[in-house]
């Protein structure tokens, strides 16, 4: 404890006045150094991704490991992930591009309408992007794993719905739609789900 007392800046002020000034100015300088680091570096832009969308991306990546697509879907080397969401989520998911899951290389494509879904394996729909039932019907038809962070996503026919609870990201599963889409979800996934629609 006696050793820690050396840290007391108010003591420095009494004994070694010059130190306290150095400390004050040094600390102030530190703040400014970093604030100006900001302004100078703002110009060099990087994709903007917040930690919540990164967390969702990590979940999506894990989900691809626990799903078996039907034989009829055909098993090519590519695992096509289609995204209809806000830019931030598109950016985050785009960073999965080129990674491998179950021996297949992930290809991320942004989509704006339901017409080009035939080759898609996984469809991520952001908040406000479940416009109508049409996209859901198409997804079932083409055996697509649908994931969304919309409120009550699974009630709207999405297979995996992401939501925040207890400051953590959780997910629900609509097993009825998964079965309809002929997708086989592993039991581990079902065990971890917050709730299931059977």
Please tell me whether residue 8 adopts helix, strand or coil conformation.
coil
Q: In the complex with another protein, which residue's Cβ is closer, 43 or 74? A: 43
Q: Does 34 bind another protein (CB under 8 A)?
A: yes
Q: How far is the CB of 108 from another protein (least distance, A)?
A: 13
Element of type H or E holding 29: helix 17-41
What is the C-alpha to C-alpha distance for residues 163 and 56, in angstroms, rounded to an integer?
Answer: 10
Q: In the complex with another protein, which residue's Cβ is closer, 19 or 142? A: 19
With beta carbons less than 8 A apart as the criterion, state whether 171 and 150 touch.
no
Q: In the complex with another protein, which residue's Cβ is closer, 120 or 162? A: 162
Interface residue with another protein, options 40, 72, 115, 187 (CB under 8 A): 40
Residues in 118-147 at the binding interface with another protein, rule: CB under 8 A: 127-128
Please report where in the chains the tokens 């917040």 appear, as a residue: 50
Q: Does 43 bind another protein (CB under 8 A)?
A: yes
Q: How far is CA 182 from each of CA 20, 58, 68, 175, 179, rounded to the nearest angstrom?
A: 71, 24, 9, 10, 5
Residues in 67-86 at the binding interface with another protein, rule: CB under 8 A: 86
Q: Does 1 bind another protein (CB under 8 A)?
A: yes
> CB under 8 A: which stretch of 73-81, 117-125, 132-140, 165-173 binds another protein?
165-173
Please tell me whether residue 36 adopts helix, strand or coil conformation.
helix
| Cβ atoms < 10 Å from Cβ of 182 | 14
Residue 145 makes CB contacts below 8 A (sequence gap 6+) with 63, 64, 67, 69, 121, 122, 123, 159, 160, 178, 181, 183
- For another protein, how many residues bind (rule: CB under 8 A)? 70
Residues that bind another protein (CB under 8 A): 1, 4-5, 7-11, 13-14, 17, 20-21, 24-38, 40-52, 54-55, 57-59, 61-62, 66, 86-88, 91-92, 95, 99, 127-128, 151, 164-170, 188-189, 192, 195
């Amino acid at each position: 404890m006696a050793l820690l007392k050396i840290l007391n800046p108010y003591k420095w002020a009494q004994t070694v006045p010059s130190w306290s000034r150095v400390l004050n100015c040094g600390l102030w300088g530190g703040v400014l150094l970093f604030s100006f680091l900001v302004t100078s570096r703002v110009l060099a832009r990087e994709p903007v991704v917040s930690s919540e969308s990164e967390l969702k991306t990590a979940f999506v990546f894990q989900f691809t490991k626990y799903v078996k697509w039907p034989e009829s879907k055909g098993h090519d080397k590519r695992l096509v992930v289609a995204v209809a969401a806000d830019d931030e989520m598109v950016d985050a998911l785009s960073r999965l591009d080129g990674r491998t899951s179950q021996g297949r290389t992930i290809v991320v494509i942004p989509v704006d309408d339901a017409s080009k879904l035939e080759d898609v394996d996984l469809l991520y729909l952001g908040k406000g992007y479940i416009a109508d039932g049409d996209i859901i019907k198409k997804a079932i038809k083409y055996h697509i794993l649908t994931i969304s962070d919309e409120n009550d996503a699974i009630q709207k026919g999405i297979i995996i719905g992401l939501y925040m609870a207890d400051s953590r990201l959780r997910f629900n599963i609509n097993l009825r739609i998964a079965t309809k889409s002929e997708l086989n979800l592993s039991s581990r996934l079902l065990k971890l789900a917050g709730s299931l629609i059977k």
